[in-house]
Structure 1
Amino acid sequence: LKELIPKEEGAKKPHKKFKDYAPGFIHIDVKYLPKMPDEKAHRYLFVAIDRATRWVYAKVFAQKTAANASAFLQQVIAAAAFKIEKVLTDNGKEFTDRFCATGEREPTGRHRFDLVCKEHQIEHRLIPPAHPQTNGMVERFNGRIAEVVATTRFDSAQNLEKTLHHYVQMYNHQIPQKALGHVSPVQALKNWQQKEPERFKKQVYNLSGLD
């Protein structure tokens, strides 16, 4: 598929530069997927991207719920070769109880997503309300997913998921990133592992992006 041909990320236009971080700061977001001919309802793509290396992990879920968000985070933790120290999300109910019937409040810490963060000693950061650009890194990746979905015909949910899997794998292994000095995310991970092996919990090779 020509829309899946690797092209250099970040080559079109400059974006505001994020503060430099080592691997372990993950941005997470959820993308609405169109309903396929063999589906009764649309599904959601949960996406996690590492700020330092642009490594991506993604998973399709039937619903955008706290249970699925926390399960997704557990999968990201298991899949990542590095130790996750921080996670950035928006203020959706699947991620936080920051907003309730009485308005905005401090998160209680009892939300299922926060409990997973606490279990793994991960700091959960929330973007400011009405400022989605704060999570712009994963938003831009979701824009690329939107292009693939909009320019490809799918006859089944399985076909859609297979295409997304293919794209994420290519993104991680083959697409050079301008912000990374024109190397792929997996190569960036390998470079970081050579430089700071203490940040990693397993060897970087053939990391999956979508199960």
Structure 2
Amino acid sequence: MNVSTVQRILSRYGCLRLSWTDPATGAPVRAKRRQIVRYEREAPGDLVHVDIKKLGRIPDGGGHRIHGRAQGGRNSSAHREQGRPRKVHGRPNLGYAFLHHAVDDHSRYTYSEILTDEKRETATAFMARALEHFNSVGITTQRVMTDNGACYRSRMFRDLLAEHGIKHKWTRPYRPQTNGKVERFNRTLQEEWAYARPYSSESERVAAFPNFLHTYNHDRGHTALKGATPADRVPNLAGQYS
């Protein structure tokens, strides 16, 4: 079949070029007929993007992804047999898991933890552990970019960065794309871990997180890195942690 004919057929069904899709997931990373110009810092540690992602917790026995929405709601109620859970819009609220991320701009190497809240003490302690981890793999952090959340505007967080000689940069208000690399990690996290399969409990999903994060950093090729992994862009890291 003629190549131009194949192209017309694929275009008719809305298929994207392979170069416009993520090689690991097949998800589109570039809109059709739209050129995206990517930027990145020259070396690991030049800029680290920091953010928090909230995810609703999964009740024991599984939620609606396993049982459907009606049964999933009943499971949520049974999850707290002692006392009544607070309800939101008539449904039991099991609360949220708060995922704190630190993503290196140059390599996309990510340090992440699942924590219980987004208070200043929690965010600052996470940042201290992230800096220590980055330093252990040879990344010296020069700048940190965050949104304007209260925990990041606290004196405690500011003093930690000042203690390490790190410049604090802010995203533009109402412009989440300014922190685009961590937003892209959040999308990957949802597709390949949080909602990748039905989990029977929150503890089961949490147990799968370290493996997802290791795969993301060491095994998963990134389109923006021309098929390389984040570890490939951090000196000496790939050989030590593969």
Alignment coverage as a number of residue pairs: 179
Matched, 1:86 2:143: yes
Question: Which of these two proteins has the greater Rg computed from alpha carbons?
Answer: 2
Judging changes above 3 Å, is the alpha-carbon distance between structure 1 residues 61 and 127 closer, same or farther for their aligned structure 2 residues? same
Contact map agreement 2:100 2:112 (CA 8 A) in 1: yes
Matched, 1:22 2:43: yes
Judging changes above 3 Å, is the alpha-carbon distance between structure 1 residues 31 and 15 closer, same or farther for their aligned structure 2 residues? farther
What TM-score do the two structures reach when normalised by structure 1?
0.76
Contact map agreement 1:53 1:188 (CA 8 A) in 2: yes
Judging changes above 3 Å, is the alpha-carbon distance between structure 1 residues 139 and 122 closer, same or farther for their aligned structure 2 residues? same
What TM-score do the two structures reach when normalised by structure 2?
0.67
CA RMSD of aligned residues (A): 2.4
Contact map agreement 2:231 2:238 (CA 8 A) in 1: no
Determine the structure 1 residue equivalent to 2:11.
none
**Aligned equivalents of 1:157, 1:186: Cα separation in 2:** 29
**Aligned equivalents of 1:139, 1:9: Cα separation in 2:** 18
% identical equivalent positions: 26
Between stretches 149-158 and 125-134, larger displacement belongs to 149-158
Determine the structure 1 residue equivalent to 2:220.
175
**Aligned equivalents of 1:136, 1:203: Cα separation in 2:** 25
**Aligned equivalents of 1:133, 1:96: Cα separation in 2:** 20
Judging changes above 3 Å, is the alpha-carbon distance between structure 1 residues 9 and 57 closer, same or farther for their aligned structure 2 residues? farther
Which 5+ residue runs of structure 2 have no aligned equivalent?
1-22, 61-78, 80-93
Q: CA deviation at 1:150?
A: 2.4
Which 5+ residue runs of structure 1 have no aligned equivalent?
1-5, 98-110, 194-201
Any residues of structure 2 matched to 1:85-164 within 5 Å, and which? 85-97=142-154, 111-147=155-191, 148-164=193-209
**Aligned equivalents of 1:7, 1:28: Cα separation in 2:** 24
Q: CA deviation at 1:204?
A: 7.0
Greater RCO, 1 or 2 (C-alpha within 8 Å, sep 6+):
1
Query: Which structure: greater helix fraction?
Result: 2
Determine the structure 2 residue equivalent to 1:188.
233
Determine the structure 1 residue equivalent to 2:29.
12
Judging changes above 3 Å, is the alpha-carbon distance between structure 1 residues 61 and 123 closer, same or farther for their aligned structure 2 residues? same
Contact map agreement 2:218 2:238 (CA 8 A) in 1: no
Point out 4+ residue stretches in structure 1 off by more than 6 angstroms.
8-11
**Aligned equivalents of 2:217, 2:29: Cα separation in 1:** 19
Any residues of structure 2 matched to 1:60-79 within 5 Å, and which? 60-79=114-133
